[in-house]
Amino acid sequence: MTTVTEQLRWQNWARTESAQPEQVAYPRDLEHLCSIVRSRGALRVRAIGAGHSFTGAAVTEGIQIRMDALDLLERVDPRPDGTTHVTVGAGIRLHALNRVLAACGLAMRNLGDIDRQTLAGAISTGTHGTGSRLGGLATQVVGVRLVTAQGDVVEASPQHHPELFEVARLGLGSVGVLAAITLEAVPAFHLSAVEVPLPLDEVLERLDGPDGLVDGNDHFEFYWFPHTRRALTKSNNRAPNGAGPGLHPLRGWVDDELLSNGVFAATNRLAAAAPALTPRINRIASRALSARAYTAPSPQVFASPRRVRFREMEYAIPRAQLREVLAEIDSWISASGVNIPFPLEVRFAAADDVWLSTAHGRPTAYVAVHQYLRLPYGRYFQAVERIMAQVDGRPHWGKLHWLGADRLAELYPQFAEARAVRAQADPDGAFRNEYLDRVLGPLA
């Protein structure tokens, strides 16, 4: 096995996890990847993406596999229903995937708001965007090529090895190393983006109903600034033939780089140095927001640059419980004295049938809480987690939380089936680590 041993300690993007793997391997191709897994000996193996998971999902003291070279477009297969099945290497980054698809006249039907992750890492942790009629990234996966614990190659899909497919497409890499992924892509499209600051109470009042903010838009989300009653709403809808004004480059730089990253970083540093100023900072920031509207190719609207480091916890809750949950969080913030400079992010998704999807079986609202890297987050996040527990919230698999397998088994109807597939696929624990054992349970 060809490996490169590195003395540098690995850290994830958020600086919440680190590891010192015994070996670091860079597979050149599928055959090389199989040989790495096959000759691992007693060492455990974890494939690593871009390090954007806040949890220990990728941590290993054994062999860390970096999948950067497995990032090529393999096949484009048009389908009778107007979609196209596209097979790509699992190590491709989402921003690179978007370029590859665009060159073929294609796009993902929905994406999250960050595009730095690898495709394999994003689907394995349940990454999602927003849209009440749409699911997360894993719902767009129609096939996987998996390297098993024995170093063999298995092609899995809903028709072939369907149970293995379920846990391979969203299962934290617990049943093998994803080498290639087949996606159901759609014809490329533009989005008309409208961003409007509104009073939070107005947003909550207008959320529901056929013409409400959530169901009346293809994609809707909002950001609420703690210590205020102000929110920024984002409504994105398909624009026929790309019709509509583009975003002026200067306005885009001011909003997305200067304000959302440069000034935001400065205000967070100020809040860390003088926490008592946080409510005033948030009030000024929320009232300084201005409306904007533009039209652009969908990947440019979905994703935004994120250069301010933070810690994040996100919970998926029944959509009908959103107002109650936000009111509880607001009450706790007011009573606690904790200062929070980061806005809460609220998104939406359709119910799906992916075994370990956070939206499994129920229309879902996602509530994400963040805290700046230099500020403590434990008390805030644990309080929010207690609130989420009251409505059977499910934590994002790649973001901070404290739940274990016993509680998660109560939240997922097919959790036992997923555990059984894992045990059969990896009986000797080749892909185990501490985080997987905590959230999926130890292997027998």
Phi, psi dihedral angles at 137 (to 5 degrees) = -60, -35
Residues whose CB falls within 8 Å of the CB of residue 79, separated by 6 or more in sequence, listed in order: 85, 184
Q: How does pLDDT run along the chain (444 residues), one tens digit per residue?
A: 444 444 568 999 999 999 999 999 999 999 999 999 999 999 999 999 999 999 999 999 999 999 999 999 999 999 999 899 999 999 999 999 999 999 999 999 999 999 999 999 999 999 999 999 999 999 999 999 999 999 999 999 999 999 999 999 999 999 999 999 999 999 999 999 999 999 999 999 999 989 999 999 999 999 999 999 999 999 999 998 766 766 655 444 334 543 455 577 778 788 888 888 888 888 887 777 778 899 999 999 999 877 788 999 999 999 999 999 999 999 999 999 999 999 999 999 999 999 999 999 999 999 999 999 999 999 999 999 999 999 999 999 999 999 999 999 999 999 999 999 999 999 999 999 999 999 999 997
| Count of alpha carbons within 13 angstroms of residue 5, beta-carbon side | 4
> Coil, strand, or helix at residue 249?
helix
Distance CA(94)–CA(112), nearest Å, equals: 10
Give the helix ranges, DSSP H, for 199-259.
Answer: 200-205, 249-253
Phi, psi dihedral angles at 125 (to 5 degrees) = -105, 0
Rounding to the nearest 10 degrees, give the CA dihedral for residues 52, 358, 419, 179.
-40
Q: What's this model's pTM, rounded to 2 decimal places?
A: 0.94
Residues whose CB falls within 8 Å of the CB of residue 182, separated by 6 or more in sequence, listed in order: 75, 85, 86, 87, 141, 142, 143, 144, 157
Other beta carbons within 10 Å of 188: 18
Fill in the amino acid letter for 153.
V
Is the alpha carbon torsion for 31, 34, 38, 41 positive or negative? positive
